[in-house]
Amino acid sequence: MNPQHLAIPGTVRVEVGPGGLTQLVVSNDHADAAVFLQGAHVASFQPRNADPVLWMSPTAIYQPGKALRGGIPVCWPWFGPHPFDARQTAHGIVRTREWTPVESMCLHDGSTRIVLAYQHDGVGPWPFKAEARLEVTVGRRLTVELVTANRGDEPVTYQDALHTYLTVGDVRQCVLHGFDHAPYIDKADNHQRKVHAGPLRLTKETVSIFTRHHGTVEIEDPVLGRRLIITKQGSEETVVWNPWATVASTMQDLGTGWSEMLCVEAATCCDRWIHLDPAGEHRTRQTIGIA
């Protein structure tokens, strides 16, 4: 579908971005942002007079059918490897699909909202009829809400995640608050189950899934001289990830940029699933701002 009906003079424009990928570019009094139709991928968010909040890899590969490294990839309807078929694409089916542009609007507070949708017909590795809708609100803060609706006649079971890459000055100097006494699965240490204590500082490859975690996360960034505040609703886990130097060097689309990014993801994953009855709906929301 032609996305030109989402254009708003002076606020939302439709552009052909890198690799020929169509993107919606937002510019309002609060911030600038960009969203690709492929994957409903939020690629940038930069509040006025501030450093970028989202991180895109300088070696990201922009081409049709290729998942982008950075920004906010949407993981749906599973997280990580397919639960039963290792041949399937990691993190679901929608990251490389073209989403349908639904609407754009200017809100009363000067924010801008863009809505994209993806219809799944139940064919393929996930046998359910469902709609995924991404609502992106660009204001002083960035709010991304993934809405899943059961469009079939049987219950739906799925996982999701907003796989958010954040810009930091140096991940080795950042301090994360909000995980004191939080249980987690340490995937970088043979999936051991542990409990974290105190502030969180990353010193090596980190793949930590904080289970039953619903609270606010605050990131102190002394290099950029700011604090990022991340809140969420509708997700059961919070994932903290950085591949560190050795693993990053094996990733063509990440490479040396690993020290300037940190993933904090709203997710329902691992042994947790979302269940929807026919006509049921679920919302996973993440809001990111500078304190």
Q: CA 274, 277, 278, 283 torsion: positive or negative? A: negative
CB atoms within 10 A of CB 108: 5
CB 243 within 8 A of CB 187: no
d(CA 39, CA 12): 19
- Domain interval for residue 192: 3-290
| Cα distance between residue 4 and residue 23, in whole Å | 11
At 64-104, the pLDDT tens digits run 999 999 999 999 999 988 877 878 888 999 999 999 999 99
Which residue from 225, 233, 168 is spatially nearest to 201, judged by alpha carbons? Answer: 168
Question: Can you tell me the mean pLDDT for 6-15?
Answer: 97
Cα R_g (the chain), whole angstroms: 18
- Cβ contact 130:158 at 8 Å: yes
Question: Mean per-residue pLDDT for 183-196?
Answer: 97
User: What is the model's pLDDT at position 270?
Assistant: 86
Separation in Å, CA 228 to CA 14, 154, 221, 291: 29, 41, 8, 6
CATH classification of the domain holding 109:
2.70.98.10
DSSP 199: S
Q: What is the pLDDT of residue 18?
A: 96
Report the C-alpha gap between 183 and 193 in whole angstroms: 7
pLDDT (average), residues 120-142: 96
Domain count, the chain: 1
Task: State the number of CA atoms in the 13 A half-sphere of 82 facing the CB.
Answer: 12
| Whether residue 247 has pLDDT greater than 90 | yes
Global pTM?
0.97
> Which tokens sit at 181?
């006494």
The tokens for 206 are 């980190």
Tokens of 204: 């090596």
Of 41-45, 122-126, 284-288, the least confident: 122-126
92 vs 107: CA distance, rounded Å:
32
